[in-house]
Amino acid sequence: MPMEEISPLQRAEWIRYLAPFANAEARANVVYNAVKSNYLCLNKMATNQSEEFKPVVAWVEYNQGIWSFVREDYKRQLVRDAGGENIDDSLTSNSYNVSDPDDMDNFHAILCTVAVLIDETYTPEPAKYTLSSFLENVEVTDNSCFVFLTNQSLWRTDKRIRATADGHATDWFDGAIAQPQLVLADLIEAFFPTGSYNTTFLRNLAKVFTVGPETCDRGSSAPLEPTIVPCQ
């Protein structure tokens, strides 16, 4: 399955595996090659940007009173390809209980080394998960050492959502798999902000904006036309 692959491009390449079932091999090759070419171009651009500075990046999640770092291979690959540096693998613990003061002191100390934070905490209503939600979960009264808050670089992956009978579904588990070049472009903007690029999947918790159905530019039955990010 695509979600079991260890790299962003391997996940996207599943379009070539599925295409024969729809007699669309030629179309799948065109789409995948366009995605791959754009991804590699953006990776090269990010590498040039990060020659002097690599922001430390962490993916985290909160579940039933426990904070942990998310260390899926493809996410770590995305961070490297976007010019960032993953948080240290040598951390001895990956479970921080909010009811344990020592645990939270350690967690807060680690967060103080992070320049860009991506919060993947599950919520049934993503639109209601705000900066206040994060601060409440992380239990801080003085966040002055958190560079990712000072620089307004606290993100979630739920910018694109749709209502379902069971709640909400995010495009992170669909469109982000098919178009990793857009995820990479989002991360490059998060790491090296220009203010001129509008992210597709990443939502900045430190800023307020709304994304609705009107932002969708194609119907669910329309074939995918990959979005190519300008890149030189």
More confident residue, 203 or 19: 203
Q: What is the reported pLDDT for 211?
A: 53
- Domain of residue 116 covers 2-209
77 in a structural domain: yes
The pLDDT > 70 percentage for the chain reads 89
What mean pLDDT is predicted for residues 69-89?
93
* Residue 91: pLDDT band with limits 50, 70, 90: confident
Q: What is the reported pLDDT for 165?
A: 55
Q: What is the reported pLDDT for 191?
A: 96
The structure tokens listed for 198 are 């509008």
228 in a structural domain: no
Q: What is the reported pLDDT for 209?
A: 53
Q: DSSP class of residue 196?
A: -
What mean pLDDT is predicted for residues 153-174?
82
The structure tokens listed for 172 are 């992170």
Domains in the chain: how many in total? 1
214 in a structural domain: no
136 in a structural domain: yes
214, pLDDT greater than 80: no
38 in a structural domain: yes
232 in a structural domain: no
Q: What is the reported pLDDT for 2?
A: 79
CATH number for the domain spanning 183: value is 3.40.50.1980
Whole-number Å distance between alpha carbons of 28 and 32: 6
221, pLDDT greater than 80: no
Question: What digits encode the pLDDT tens for the residues 30-47?
Answer: 999 999 999 999 999 999
73 in a structural domain: yes
Q: What is the reported pLDDT for 120?
A: 96
Query: What single string gives the DSSP state of each residue in 108-140?
Result: HHHHTT-SEEEE----S-GGG--HHHHHHHHT-
47 in a structural domain: yes
Q: What is the reported pLDDT for 107?
A: 94
54, pLDDT greater than 70: yes
pTM metric for this prediction:
0.90
Q: What is the reported pLDDT for 111?
A: 94
* Residue 215: pLDDT band with limits 50, 70, 90: low
Residues facing 69 on adjacent strands: 60
